[in-house]
Structure 1
Amino acid sequence: MHLIIAEKHIAAKRIATILAPTKPKQVRVSGMDTYEYNDEDRTVVMGLSGHIVQLDFPKAYNNWQKVESRELIDAEIITTPTHVKIVSALKKLGKEATHVTIATDYDREGELIGVEALEIIRNVNPDVKFDRVFYSAITKKEIDDAFANPASVDFDLADAGHSRQVIDLVWGASLTRYLSISAGRLGKLFLSVGRVQSPTLALIVDKEKERQDFVPKPYWEIYATLKDKSGELFNVQHKTQKFWDKEEAEKVMDIIGDNATVSSVEKAKKKDKPPTPFNTTEFIGAASSIGYSAANAMRIAESLYTNGFISYPRTDNTVYPESIDMRAQIEIFKKGTFKEYAEKLLAKENLVPTRGKKETTDHPPIYPASLAKKSELNDQEWKLYELVVRRFFATFAEEAEWETLKVRFDIEGEEFKANGARLLHAGWRWYYPYNAPQDRLLPALEEGDVLSIKSKEMLDKETQPPGRYGQGRLIKLMEELGLGTKATRHDIISKLYSRAYVHGNPLQPTKTAFAVVEALEKYAPTITKHDMTSKLEEDMDRIAEGKIKEDKVLKESRKMLDNVFAEFEENAENISESLRAGLREDKVIGICQECGSKLMVRRSKRGARFIGCEGYPDCNFSLPLPKSGQVIVTDKTCEEHGINHIKIINAGKRPWELGCPQCNFLEWKRSQEEEKRKQPETPRPENITDVPGIGKVTAKKLEEAGISNVNELEEADAIELSKNTGISVGKIMKWQEAIE
């Protein structure tokens, strides 16, 4: 029996459909769907679910309080199954197999996933023959070619993937444990630290510090509005774009008269080169510019790939290989949505694509592998598919051509200017219209023309701080610095969001991020620099190339980590104090208007969360908070209440922009009162258990808090009562409304 192993179920189904002479049979094995064909020479195709085993430490290391973080550096690492049914199916089919073909994705991760499955099979069938097939798109031609030319399993590449898993586990677990314990942040609020994550977070925090330290400098701009002979109005600017001296600008304003003379007109033509093919970084950047997060763009790209619509989306390559028949690939689109574009390209005698700077041999750049109908995809999938198709077409198109116009004007001896541009030939921009510059048209002007001045204006401006990193820009910087890989960078950014280290896009660090990075940069700077992790990335590349053994790299990485812990232990007390002070600031949301103390996110004795005054018990001002989700304090402040706006982050959900907590609470009260007015009057409850939602158990809890009758419940402070009972403020207020 020939057993073919794909990385995912959907890929297995497509491969079986392509290879089988007739429709393959779907057969359940150990609760997993497999696909069979050829009764005499039986072939079974099964899909995994990515990694089916995981690395972990033995249970003895799980107790954070009893096991020192540093002990994890040299701790034993074990492998445990994550998908028991898949492992069972592999063993069952593996015993019967005479030939195994690994058909997982071709990269470090895919090779490791394939080897993990192969090792499970070899444990039950040591003598089984095995080989490997490589493909970059799940299309008939690619799959047929791949299976007609099987190769060997690349164990060096798998070792490189395995080394990454070991290094990331050991670094992440030990550093996270140490910092979390130092900060007193355990449970769900632990402080996540990692060899790629932490240098990336440091980039974001350092950029924010640049913005905070930035001192704006005032400057002035001078404009005049001119009117040509036809009556058309247009603006011109003084040649000194920024006046740093206000008096100098005012002098120019004083001498501007009624007329302007055209002193020179320069026309020129400018070429606009077509873009290079998409690699992963360029694709994420383009997707980001049309509204996709890095993680969402890669998730959708992965789906498009496994369904056969685009090529493999994890690639560094920006040069199409000669093995792809480009004309045939474009001919796919002679029908359907992109017919007009395909036909125009096919009319060219020579189809010569652009070439980027990076050329690799594992996968081609991202290109459309097959024709998709709009009805086959959802809106998000279609937009990204169209992006890939249009970029592919644009790489074969001719240059765009612009006509540029530089006009200079004399106004009382002062030079003013206006620049225009007009697209003469769209070229590649017709195929790929994203983020295209607009025409800047000027009226027909000739040297010596005299135009009247309709108005003049001096604008007060100031220099702006450097911009924050958008996701696309950050991923490009990570690539330049050797942080992560094309397959992991978007996941690192997702982790920063999920751990509430950043919010928004462009990425803005939270106070927690500041606390962690500042403590690390001051007392253990090694972990915040890209040099160390980029060195490890280079070493993993050398493992993949067979130039160095995995054991040597793992040993060196443990030595590096040991040096980091030496820094930690030398500064243990300072790190703890720095983290705790920084994290305390993370809870401050403003100043109490009643007493001037700090307003902070707090918890009652029973665990209920609220915003309370640091001046308690002298000041009882408080505001309710949602029961779940992480509270992110933003830098936006409510003008009325002087309180920072907050966001609530829940895993797997869009952030809730709660805004000013006091405004939100007052609005909620108004809506409740409005709702109450709409309700028919009901008799006032006599006993506390007559209030809807209060039973004997709850009544006893209220009694323990000093509330034994309806009147006491009605007059109670809902927030204070919530603190003492753990019952939500909203629920208490509903009971009070039912009494009124």
Structure 2
Amino acid sequence: MHLIIAEKHIAAKRIAAILAPKKPKKVRVSGVDTYEYEDNEDDKIVMGLSGHIVELDFPKEYNNWQKVNAEDLIDAELITKPTQVKIVAALKKLGKKASKVTIATDYDGEGELIGVEALDIIKKVNQDIQFDRVKYSAITEKEIKNAFSNPVNVDFNLADAGHSRQVIDLVWGASLTRYISLSAGRLGKMFLSVGRVQSPTLALIVDREKEREAFVPDPYWEVYATLANSNGEEFVTQHKTQRFWDKNQVNSVVDKLKDCKTAEVTSVEKSTKQDKPPSPFNTTEFISAANSVGFTASNAMRIAETLYTNGYISYPRTDNTVYPDSLDLRNLIAMFKSGQFKQYAQYLLNKSNLVPTRGKKETQDHPPIYPTSAAKKSELNEDEWKIYEMVVRRFFATFADPAKWETMKVKFDIGSEEFRAKGARLISPGWRWFYPYNSPEDKILPPLKKGEVLTVKSSKVADKETQPPGRYGQGRLVRIMEELGLGTKATRHEIISKLFSRAYVHSNPLQPTKTAFAVIDALENYAPTITKHEMTSKLEEDMEKISEGKIKEDEVLKESRDMLKSMFSELESNRDNITQSLRNGLREDKVIGTCPECESRLMVRRSKRGSRFIGCDGYPDCTFSLPLPKSGQIIVTDKVCEDHGINHIRVNIPGKRPWNLGCPHCNFIEWQKEQENNKNKQKDTTPKSITEINGIGKVTAEKLENAGVSSVEELANADAVELSKQTNLSVKKIKNWQEYVA
């Protein structure tokens, strides 16, 4: 029996459907779905894993944070334990019977390691098993059949590189996280996460925020004049000195403009410029593009992974920006001759020469991201379609002509002062027709010629200030991480996602919380190596050398442990300072404003029962308080309520969109109003007479009146048992009416 192992169940199902001569048979093995078929009298079984089915961990004796020093984790011997018990059992059962195993997991360091993990499990029950590997970049019929016709050897060096990354990230993350969390006194769910890649990335965000806070704006002025031609067409011009730093110069210009009623065109310069088509998508460019249209890095990659496993796009984890010669590009475009993209496909197919753009990075593992099959909109959900459409359009754009713009630069004389205006008009959309995202708009000027005299309709001075450097958006941060060697194409989006989950950042562009400031300040002041990219990028380079067979894994793991020990030496020599810095910083993280009653600090607090609330630092003399949601991480933002001087709050709940609570005081006031309105509504719907009560008709009302009950109040106060005897109405009915009235 020949066992084929894919990385996920959906990939296994698709591979089996492609390879089987007829529909494969679904068979459940140890609770796991597998797909069986016969090919050339050979029984074949395809099964999917669930990513990593085993994980590295520390032995149980290292789990007690209070008894085991964080530094002891560095040299601890790691153990491997199963995370998917059913899949491991199925592997062992099938592996015993198999004569051959083919690893068909995704082809990258992570996929190779996942495949080798499965192979190691099988080898324990079948030492003599034969095995090989297939490599593919898309789960399509052509790619899969070609891969299985040309198997290769398992790349154990690549798997070792992936394994070394697991070991290094676990040991660094666990030891540093334990040390910093214990120092800060932040244990349980609110522990402080520290990591080899995570911390330098967070430092980038915090350092940018510090630049913004330290930024001192400089005032400057811009002078504009609105002109009109003889047809009444108006447009705006700007003084040739785009920014005036001296107010006296501005006043001098304004004085000259006061009596000017006309402006003369002194020069008109027309030209055309080309806007080159974009390069093919690699992972970084894809994340950046998806982020610009509203997708977070992690969400974009999750959707891309789904599209890949369903056969719609190629493998989304790639550094490559050059299509390989092996791709039949014309045939790929021809897939779209019918359907939503047919006009674009037909246009390209009519070109005599299809030459795609080439990016700066060319690798041999996977091609750039491209569409592998034509999808219908009805086959995908809304977000999947948006990502798929973007990939298709980007693919088309790489074969398109440059966009062409007609530009116009005009100079004007207004009271001996030179003003200027620029116009631009898209005359040939080229690639922008295929890929319309974030396109610049035309800026049209009316026809103008040298010597023409125009009317000055108005002039104005704009008071402005220089702006601080912008925060990093997720797309931009991924680019910077790539440039600095932080993480890999497969992990960068996960690092950003982790920063959100640990309440270190919020919003997009990314804004650090006070917790992030506390952690990075303590590390930068007393153990700065942890926050620098040089250390982690050096390890990334060495892990790459493992995959190339230039260095052994043990050498890199020793180097990593030595680095970590030197950092702990740094930490230990500054233990008291780090503890003080963290605790001071984290206390500030709980401050949300000033108490309106006594002007003490308002803090996020916990009651003796564990519930959260906002309380005054002046307690017990001051008892002012505000409620907080029962669950979710509380993030204090820098936005302050104008009415109450209290910071706005966001609530992070795992698996859900963050909830912007806003000002807690405003929120509480609105809640009180809502409660009062509900009471008033209830009063408005209270029956005024007995006959307004549902179920009391004319006959019943007469019975009640004969018993001395003629008003709602009398009914509410009556003895239900006694009234039942007098009216022959059931006690239950009477009590229901009384409850309704109450």
Query: Cα RMSD (Å) of the superposition?
Result: 1.2
User: CA offset at residue 424 of structure 1?
Assistant: 1.1
Q: Find the partner of 1:456 among 429, 453, 459.
A: 459
User: CA offset at residue 109 of structure 1?
Assistant: 0.2
Q: Is 1:329 aligned to residue 349 of structure 2?
A: no
Per-residue deviation, residues 34-91 of structure 1 (Å, max 9, x unmatched): 0000173100000000000000000000000000000000001000000000000000
Instruction: Give the partner amino acid of 2:111.
Output: G
Distance 2:340 2:100 in 1: 43
Distance 2:163 2:151 in 1: 23
**Secondary structure of the residue that 1:4 maps to in structure 2?**
strand
Q: Find the partner of 2:486 among 466, 483, 487.
A: 483
Distance 1:326 1:682 in 2: 71
Distance 2:661 2:456 in 1: 50
Structure 1 equivalent of residue 15 of structure 2: 15
Q: In structure 2, do the counterparts of structure 1 residues 682 and 233 end up closer, same or farther at CA, with 3 Å as the change threshold?
A: closer
Instruction: Give the partner amino acid of 1:508.
Output: Q
Distance 1:88 1:238 in 2: 76
Per-residue deviation, residues 693-720 of structure 1 (Å, max 9, x unmatched): xxxxxxxxxxxxxxxxxxxxxxxxxxxx
Counterparts of 1:69-80 in structure 2, within 5 Å, are 69-80=70-81
Moved runs in structure 1, 4+ residues, more than 4 A?
A: 680-683
Per-residue deviation, residues 220-248 of structure 1 (Å, max 9, x unmatched): 10000001011101000000001011111
User: CA offset at residue 680 of structure 1?
Assistant: 5.2
Per-residue deviation, residues 378-401 of structure 1 (Å, max 9, x unmatched): 010000000000000000011111
Structure 1 equivalent of residue 293 of structure 2: 290
User: CA offset at residue 6 of structure 1?
Assistant: 0.2
Structure 1 equivalent of residue 5 of structure 2: 5
Counterparts of 1:527-676 in structure 2, within 5 Å, are 527-676=530-679
**Secondary structure of the residue that 1:657 maps to in structure 2?**
strand
Structure 1 equivalent of residue 111 of structure 2: 110
Instruction: Give the partner amino acid of 1:43.
Output: K
**Secondary structure of the residue that 2:203 maps to in structure 1?**
helix
Structure 2 equivalent of residue 169 of structure 1: 170
Distance 2:534 2:404 in 1: 43
Q: Find the partner of 2:524 among 513, 521, 526.
A: 521
Distance 1:111 1:672 in 2: 59
Distance 2:681 2:52 in 1: 56
Instruction: Give the partner amino acid of 1:679.
Output: Q
Distance 1:493 1:236 in 2: 43
Counterparts of 1:228-377 in structure 2, within 5 Å, are 228-256=229-257, 257-377=260-380
**Secondary structure of the residue that 1:631 maps to in structure 2?**
strand
Distance 2:37 2:251 in 1: 85
Point out where structure 2 has 5 or more consecutive residues left out of the alignment.
687-739
Instruction: Give the partner amino acid of 2:8.
Output: K
Distance 2:435 2:627 in 1: 50
Q: Is 1:447 aligned to residue 450 of structure 2?
A: yes
Instruction: Give the partner amino acid of 2:622.
Output: C
Structure 1 equivalent of residue 421 of structure 2: 418
Distance 2:683 2:65 in 1: 56
Distance 1:373 1:549 in 2: 48
Instruction: Give the partner amino acid of 2:70.
Output: S
Counterparts of 1:26-45 in structure 2, within 5 Å, are 26-38=26-38, 40-45=41-46
**Secondary structure of the residue that 1:38 maps to in structure 2?**
strand
Distance 2:685 2:306 in 1: 56
**Secondary structure of the residue that 1:424 maps to in structure 2?**
strand
Q: Is 1:160 aligned to residue 123 of structure 2?
A: no
Distance 2:172 2:642 in 1: 44
Distance 1:336 1:96 in 2: 47
Q: Is 1:61 aligned to residue 62 of structure 2?
A: yes
Instruction: Give the partner amino acid of 1:470.
Output: G
User: CA offset at residue 607 of structure 1?
Assistant: 1.3
Distance 1:422 1:626 in 2: 53
Structure 2 equivalent of residue 124 of structure 1: 125
**Secondary structure of the residue that 2:405 maps to in structure 1?**
strand
Instruction: Give the partner amino acid of 1:200.
Output: T
Q: Is 1:391 aligned to residue 391 of structure 2?
A: no
Instruction: Give the partner amino acid of 2:97.
Output: E
Distance 1:630 1:31 in 2: 37
**Secondary structure of the residue that 1:42 maps to in structure 2?**
strand
Structure 2 equivalent of residue 46 of structure 1: 47
Distance 1:247 1:604 in 2: 60
User: CA offset at residue 679 of structure 1?
Assistant: 2.1
Distance 2:470 2:229 in 1: 39
Distance 2:183 2:297 in 1: 32
Instruction: Give the partner amino acid of 1:214.
Output: F
Counterparts of 1:421-440 in structure 2, within 5 Å, are 421-440=424-443
User: CA offset at residue 681 of structure 1?
Assistant: 9.5
Instruction: Give the partner amino acid of 1:105.
Output: D
Distance 1:316 1:309 in 2: 19
Per-residue deviation, residues 465-510 of structure 1 (Å, max 9, x unmatched): 1100000000000000000000000000000000000000000000
Per-residue deviation, residues 562-597 of structure 1 (Å, max 9, x unmatched): 011000000000000000000000000001121111
Distance 2:17 2:609 in 1: 58
Distance 2:230 2:682 in 1: 69
User: CA offset at residue 682 of structure 1?
Assistant: 12
**Secondary structure of the residue that 2:560 maps to in structure 1?**
helix
**Secondary structure of the residue that 1:315 maps to in structure 2?**
coil
**Secondary structure of the residue that 2:42 maps to in structure 1?**
coil
Instruction: Give the partner amino acid of 1:108.
Output: G
Per-residue deviation, residues 107-143 of structure 1 (Å, max 9, x unmatched): 0000000000001011101101100000000000000
Structure-1-length-normalised TM-score: 0.92
Structure 1 equivalent of residue 734 of structure 2: none
**Secondary structure of the residue that 1:250 maps to in structure 2?**
helix
More deviation, 605-614/183-192 = 605-614
Point out where structure 1 has 5 or more consecutive residues left out of the alignment.
684-737
**Secondary structure of the residue that 2:271 maps to in structure 1?**
strand
Instruction: Give the partner amino acid of 2:669.
Output: L
**Secondary structure of the residue that 2:335 maps to in structure 1?**
helix
User: CA offset at residue 606 of structure 1?
Assistant: 1.8
Structure 1 equivalent of residue 83 of structure 2: 82
User: CA offset at residue 678 of structure 1?
Assistant: 1.9
**Secondary structure of the residue that 1:602 maps to in structure 2?**
strand
User: CA offset at residue 543 of structure 1?
Assistant: 0.2
Percent identity over paired residues: 74
Distance 1:501 1:676 in 2: 41
Distance 2:683 2:665 in 1: 29
**Secondary structure of the residue that 2:273 maps to in structure 1?**
strand
Per-residue deviation, residues 226-284 of structure 1 (Å, max 9, x unmatched): 01011101000000001011111011011011110000000011011000000000000
How many residues align structurally?
685
Distance 1:643 1:272 in 2: 48
